[in-house]
Structure 1
C-alpha cells in the first residue's frame, strides 16, 4: 500500500477512534493517532494471533483498533 493510502487509512482510523472514544481532535491529531494506531496494531495483533484481511478495509480495521488502544492508554497516562 502506498503512502497516500496509509495517510487515508490513518485519517479515517484516527477519526473513527475519536468518534468511538469521544474527545476533541483536529485533522493532524486524528492523522497522528491513526498512523500510530496502525503501528500499534501491527505490533499487537500478530502477537495475539489475530489475522485481519490484508486489504484496505482490513488495514482500516486494524489501524482503528490500534488507534483506540493508543488513545485509551494515552488518555490514562495524561490523567495520572
Structure 2
C-alpha cells in the first residue's frame, strides 16, 4: 500500500511542479508522475537529513522539501525530454 500512496503523492507533486514551472511543458504524464514520485522520496530524504521528517502536526517543512525537489526534477526532466525527443513538429 505504501507504493500506491507514493504514486498518488508523486502525481500530485508532479502537477504542482508543472504549475510552478513557467512556460509550456511537453513531458508525458508518466514522466511527470515518475519525477514527482522521485521528488517526494528525495524530499523525504532531505527532511530526514535536517531532522524534520516527523514533527507534531502537519509536516510543512517536509512538504516544502518534497515540492522543491519535484520542481527541480520535473524541470530537469523536461529539458532532457526535449533534448532527446527534439522539438515537436508543428503543423
Q: TM-score, normalised by structure 2?
A: 0.58
Are 1:65 and 2:68 an aligned pair? yes
Larger gyration radius, structure 1 or structure 2: 2
Aligned length: 76
Q: Which has the higher helix share?
A: 1
What's the TM-score once normalised by structure 1's chain length?
A: 0.64
Gaps of 5+ in 1: none
Preserved CA contact (<8 Å) 1:37 1:64: yes
Structure 2 unaligned regions, length at least 5? 84-91
With over 3 angstroms needed to count, the CA separation of the structure-2 counterparts of 1:53 and 1:15, relative to structure 1, is: farther
The Cα RMSD (Å) is 3.3
Matching residue of 2:31: 29
Structure 1 contact 10–63 (Cα < 8 Å) conserved: no
